[in-house]
Structure 1
Amino acid sequence: MSFPWARHYQPKHPIMRWIDGKLPLPRFVYNATGGGYPVPRNLNYFWNFGVLNGAALLIQIVTGIVLAMHYAANTEFAFDSVVHIMRDVNSGWFIRYAHMNGASLFFISVYIHMLRGLYFGSYKAPREMAWLIGVVILLLLMATAFMGYVLPWGQMSFWGAQVITGLFGAIPIVGQPLQTWLLGGYTPDNATLNRFFALHYLLPFVIAGVAILHVWAIHIPGSNNPTGVDVEGPQDTVPFHPYYTAKDGFSLGVGMTIFAALIFFWPNALGHPDNYTPANPMQTPAHIVPEWYFWPFYAILRSFTADFILPAKLWGVLAMFSSIFLLFFLPWLDISPVRSGHYRPLFKKFFWFGLVPSILALGYCGGAPVEPFNLIVSQVATAYYFAHFLIILPLVARFEKPLPLPASITAAVLEAHRERRAGGASGFRIAADNAD
């Protein structure tokens, strides 16, 4: 830990002293989450999505273990076993809906968490490793979610597996053998279901291990903050507990309330109705789409329609995977010394009026039918997405004139406090004048 002013764990009870001497787990927990870990005093609620990520992962692991006790990884019985869970297992409907919607909760939280990192420069030095590990978590999460979507063995499960694994077949030379290896044959079948079930059960525990590395990588340099200014001393920080455990608890309560409302009132709002029909290899759905959290990447895949040197399908596959792997190079693409978007006028404009709308447009087009207008929008949004990271961001970092940074985190907090008091006083004066 790189904070010399941090309080260190000193157990008082004889039993805790004995445990800490033999296995310093209490000390480790205290230093990681308690008063032994100082955090910047100006963190806002965008920093609370980390705890929501952890809660969503825990929900998925616990509900997944229970579902695995009743699921049959066989094409003849998989769909019926899901129906059995919903109808016959005690509280099975709740466990299945919690698991199904928990994936959406996880992705919503992760996407907001990453957008926060993009805007406030959390990928910049000295936090590059935390960002890289976070992108690895995203890749593992996407793989886990895709394989989980196949397990109910409904219509969209089968054809989603057929389409997505078929993308690997577009890769020259190794594509077809790779697709056959993924499926365990030439089409989704028992072998596919068995290996997807095994990997879907295993990968959440891998994600949990990588998440621990992610938290560890954050704790070494310390958390970033909205100003992007480095911590100068104890006056810039507060202990994580009780200040941010209370703040995290509030955010967790709001998130779980929304999650409960989704489960009890709109449990199928984020699912596709075709997946409530058993898989039929002889009947292709009219509109094959993945789950909503894959829509932006699916739109990128579909935006390539013409062959140019390489087949259009291969261009789409390369662009789809590149849109994620591009994030690994972000710490070296953005060379601006200023982290926070608050103090970067040009960056802020391109972020809010360029990158965010392009991602939202891709999300819409990925779930919409393939029509000329949707295709044009997805092509424009795809072009901007790559241009933002590969062209705009390096140029903005080179030519932008940032705003003056605050002298310290404490100075920024006190200045914001003075502005709020001044605004309140002026509002009171205006109200008094109007009353007169």
Structure 2
Amino acid sequence: MAHGPAFETNSAVVKWIDDRLPIFSLIHGSLGAGYLAPRNLNYWWNFGSLAGLCLVIQIVTGVVLAMHYTPNTLMAFDSVERIMRDVNYGWLIRYMHANGASMFFIAVYIHILRGLYYGSYKAPREMIWMLGLVIFLLMMATAFMGYVLPWGQMSFWGATVITNLFSAIPVVGDYIVTLLWGGFSVDNPTLNRFFSLHFLLPFVIAGVVILHIWALHLPGSNNPLGIDAKGKGDKIPFHPYYTVKDAFGVGVFLIFFSLFLFYAPNALGHPDNYIPADPMVTPDSIVPEWYFLPFYAILRSITFDIGIPFTDIVIIPAKLLGVLAMFGSILLLFALPWLDTSKVRSAKFRPTYRIFFWFLVIDMVILTIVGGKKPEGIWPLVGLIGTAYYFLHFLVVMPLLGKIEQTLPLPESIAKACVKKA
């Protein structure tokens, strides 16, 4: 990795601190003029920093909410209502936290799709990609547990349905469910476990984010052309060029966030969660948060057993198959650096792959819609087709395209491509 100028300062105090604890040198080398980034990064590269901003917002608002929340099934719902009504600016903190989770997932989903489009998972950036997926899995676990904490109807029944999925795992499934519940049903021990983990996991995410950034700074950032930055004019200092660009992105993001926060704070939630949890009343439809819907659709699309033909012997029941498909749809992404056999990174030079990439995006949107619908009528069939394409895209299309696709010629360098474009 190419480095910029070393850290220098005229402040005797800063120099004294940095000589003993090089925190200023670290910031300078990671986020300042000491870090050289490709000169052609576009605004799609803003979403990494935006995801980091969302994490900070979630941690700060979460710590404040934890000061007023009561993790007890008899008082949890009322404590949330007290936060909304009686705590100074509690409504703002609670809405920032609830909508901040959605903003976090929006930023991360776009960040992942950008990586898929520009081939950021390819060598030598496999570890960056896999650490990013670890962050994504931790986010999903944290968000699920946080959704349970308000102890509304959707919280309770969502926890019941999702935790029950682990019972499909042979031999150890029931033990896992009992461990998650802390008993034999979703009750007070479950709420205490989820509150404890929901508070802890964001700090674990922050630790993995540090590893993610560390791994990024070894090979350096990918770029829209997908070629290595080697020439003298291929890189520019991160500061001020990209700090200004990120600041602009933050401004646009905060406007978008504020529209939800002040004008539609409940648009991304479910109205049933404003009803206290009642184990005796099952909601008409149990739906998770929107960012889980594609994977929920994959889970529900599997309604058939796998067994020996012409016999009643079942090898893999539908419930287990659905759970495997749901988790497999995420774990499959860890193998992406090896499933994609093309030597060209960026989709800018892969016209056929670019078409299939947009097919995948459309497929994910369709699965999101299906996940929010009741499993009746045509929707189960649509979900099954969407699930089939999702796996075919990664297991068949990508390996095959890498072998047969005619790619466009790559530019000699980033600098020459930028000058030619200008």
* Shared fold (TM-score, shorter chain, > 0.5): yes
1:209 to 207, 213, 230: 207
Summarize deviations over 1:178-216 as a string: whole Å, max 9, x none: 111011111110100001000000000010110011011
CA distance in 1, matches of 2:144, 2:38: 37
Report the counterpart of residue 253 of structure 2 in structure 1.
255
Report the equivalent of 1:396. 401
- Matching residue of 1:160: 158
Cα deviation per residue 1:381-411 (whole Å; 9 max; x = unaligned)? 1000000000110000011111000110011
Q: Which moved more, 1:407-416 or 1:7-16?
A: 7-16
User: What SS is found at the alignment partner of 2:378?
Assistant: helix
Q: Which amino acid aligns with 1:46?
A: W
Q: Secondary structure at the match of 1:238?
A: strand
Task: Give the letter for the 1:23 counterpart.
Answer: L
Distance between the aligned counterparts of 1:80 and 1:141, measured in 2? 26
2:319 is the alignment partner of 1:321: no
Q: What letter corresponds to residue 350 of structure 2 in structure 1?
A: R
TM-score, normalisation: structure 1: 0.94
Q: Is the 8 A contact 2:47 2:111 kept in 1?
A: yes
Aligned residue in 2 for 1:9: 7
In the alignment, the residues of structure 2 paired with residue 372 and residue 147 of structure 1 have an alpha-carbon distance, to the nearest angstrom, of 31
Selected match of 2:341 from 328, 335, 340: 335
Per the alignment, residue 44 of structure 2 pairs with 46
The one-letter amino acid of 1:199's match is: L
| Alpha-carbon separation, structure 2, partners of 1:243 and 1:333 | 35
Alignment of 1:293-308 (within 5 A): 293-308=291-306
Aligned to 1:71: 69
Identity of aligned residues (%): 61
Contact 2:157 2:286 in 1 (8 A): yes
TM-score by length of 2: 0.97
Residue equivalent to 1:348: 354
- The amino acid of 2:58's aligned partner reads Q
Tell me, in whole angstroms, the C-alpha distance in 2 between the residues paired with 1:258 and 1:200.
26
- Is 1:178 aligned to 2:176, yes or no? yes
Secondary structure of the residue aligned to 1:234 is coil
SS in 1 for 2:236: strand
Q: What letter corresponds to residue 385 of structure 1 in structure 2?
A: Y
The amino acid across from 1:195 in the alignment is R
* Equivalent residue for 1:266, pick from 264, 267, 270: 264
Q: Which amino acid aligns with 1:247?
A: K
Contact map agreement 2:231 2:413 (CA 8 A) in 1: no
Aligned-partner Cα distance in 2 for 1:318–1:85 = 39
> What amino acid sits opposite 1:316 in the alignment?
G
Secondary structure in structure 2 of the residue aligned to 1:284: coil
> 1:244-267 deviations in whole A, cap 9, x for unaligned?
000000000000111111110000
C-alpha separation in 2, matches of 1:282 and 1:414: 68
State how far apart, in whole Å, the 1-side matches of 2:361 and 2:421 are: 27
Q: CA deviation at 1:351?
A: 0.8
**Distance in structure 2 (CA, Å) of the matches to 1:10 and 1:97:** 42
Runs of 5+ consecutive residues of structure 2 not aligned to the other structure: 308-315
Moved more, 229-238 or 334-343: 229-238
Residue deviations 1:112-154 (CA, integer Å, cap 9, x gap): 0000000100000111110000000000000000000000000
Q: Which runs of 5+ in 1 are unaligned?
A: 418-436
**In angstroms, what is the RMSD of aligned CA positions?**
0.7
Are the counterparts in 1 of residues 342 and 402 from structure 2 also a CA contact under 8 Å? yes
